[in-house]
With several copies, the nearest count.
Chain A
Amino acid sequence: MIKIENVRKSFGELEVLKGINLDVEQGEVLSIIGGSGSGKSTLLYCINAIENIQGGKIFVDGIDVHNKATNKDQLRQKLGMVFQQWNSFPHLTVLENVALAPQIVKKMSKEEAIEIAQKELKHVGLGDKFDMYPTKMSGGQQQRLAIARALAMRPDYMLFDEVTSALDPELVGEVLDTLRILREEGMTMICVTHEIAFAREVSDQVAFFHKGVIEEMGPPEQVISNPQKETTQAFLSKVLS
């Protein structure tokens, strides 16, 4: 379970997260929506300890993420993350991309790592692309590769940061389908997304971020279909127009 308690985060003068409280239970899917610059990505980065925080606490399975004593490299193995920009490693083949971290981080043998990599690539529908280089693939394929790469570390949680927003409209579907599969399998996920229809479909909870605070949070039927706050309504009407 991921527990976020009153988290504050600033970049210099700029306060980006102004006291965020969230719980994500095992097997739950949380979607985060909200305008540009509202702090959505920043929160994911804080959960993953890629950014530090200035106040509050984040617990992942009871471990205090930002405690000095916590081994962050180890912690991150629990948390798979996929980003908005495709960041596959261009110097490695698709298979090597996925097999690298299990080998060097988990110290698996090469054979073992490759086996896992093959399995996860098939999982996301890239079973026929093992020896390709990612630069030759479409954006949607690269995003699925990134998902497979994260899954190969056998994470307990997956964090998705607008994984479809840099894709051509036609490629969005294939990536969302992969997320749907993960949801079916019971993966615990936090998805930052602009795809409101998708968020409504798959989420247990939806959180609407506005200027560093959670303005509204609850099941999708409430937050998306029947928003209470004016800010939420304004945002949704802009995005859905």
Chain B
Amino acid sequence: MDYEFHWNIVFQKMPELLQGAFVTLHVSVLSMVLGIAIAVFLAIAKMNNTKPFNYVAVGWIEIARNTPALFQIYMAYFGLGAFGIHLSPYMAVLSALVFINAGYLAETFRGGFQSIPDAQYNASKSLGMTSFQTYRYIILPQMFRRIYHPMTNQFVWSILMSSLGILVGMSELSGETQRLQSLSFRTLEFFIVTAVLYYIITKFVLICASLLSKRLFKGEI
């Protein structure tokens, strides 16, 4: 091969890459927080039979799960743009991720909820607990453990998918990489370093999540 690696340019630009990495984390954390909040409502609405809410929830969940993330992002950016609704690249990516996260997490929550055996309700009732107490002390704590792992996966997915920000000119890690490499034409070097940065970020998140789960959950289910 006749390719000489030039690494010094990448190290010079490291602060800008790290700035991009920060934006990546930022947008994915926010997309999870908002996604979880909406997912709770979607899950409740889907399990509930009140018509209009049920339809909205089912529609949301199915569209989110059955179309590409890239499509959602384009839609949020140029699709909404056709209606004169102008989101910044950051907002477009954020809203697409929130939309998708909410759809997937709603199904996770519903599954977690339905996986708690009836026996747990009966046992709680037989001890004289009210419905509220049953949920508060018995059902929700168990449900949270079951959805914890899928939730971390969704978080990692959000980090990886935020890389699509590159396609609407968002300056997260991938976008910054794209910009920096075109200034120097050092494509390979920049993308290698970026791949490593993504790996570190996702591993870091997973390790934190598993440490946290050890602290939170003592008994097994």
Instruction: Name A's B-contacting residues (CB within 8 A).
Output: 45, 48, 50, 73-77, 79-81, 83, 85, 87, 89-93, 100-101, 104-105, 133-136, 146, 149-150, 153
Contact = CB atoms under 8 A, between A and B. Distances in A.
A76 B120 contact: no
Nearest to B129: A105
Interface stretch (B4-12, B67-75, B105-113, B130-138): B130-138
A141 B125 CA distance: 22
B178 interface: no
Contacts of A76: 125-128
Contacts of A45: 122
Contacts of A104: 129, 133, 137
Given A73-B128, A101-B129, A104-B129, A87 B220 contact: no
B79 interface: no
Nearest to A106: B128
B37 interface: no
A89 B127 contact: no
Contacts of B157: none
A130 to B, nearest CB: 13
Contacts of B122: 45, 50, 83, 87
B212 interface: no
A149 B219 contact: no
A184 B129 CA distance: 29
21 contacts: A50-B126, A74-B128, A76-B125, A76-B126, A77-B128, A83-B122, A87-B117, A87-B119, A87-B120, A90-B219, A91-B145, A100-B137, A101-B128, A104-B129, A104-B137, A133-B218, A133-B220, A136-B220, A146-B123, A149-B127, A150-B127
A124 B125 CA distance: 22
Contacts, number: 74
A90 B220 contact: yes
A90 B218 CA distance: 10
Given A73-B128, A76-B125, A76-B128, A91 B141 contact: yes
* Interface of B: prevailing SS: helix
The 9 closest A-B pairs by CB, nearest first: A133-B219, A87-B119, A81-B126, A77-B128, A101-B127, A87-B123, A76-B128, A105-B128, A90-B221
A85 B221 CA distance: 15
A149 to B, nearest CB: 7
Contacts of A81: 123, 126
Contacts of A146: 123
Given A85-B119, A104-B137, A105-B133, A91 B126 contact: no
Given A87-B117, A89-B138, A133-B218, A105 B123 contact: no
Contacts of B221: 90-91, 135
A76 to B, nearest CB: 4
A233 B123 CA distance: 34
Contacts of B219: 90-93, 133-135
Given A89-B120, A90-B221, A73 B130 contact: yes
Contacts of A91: 141-142, 145, 217, 219, 221
A105 B127 contact: yes
Interface in B131-172: 133, 137-138, 141-142, 145
Contacts of B120: 87, 89
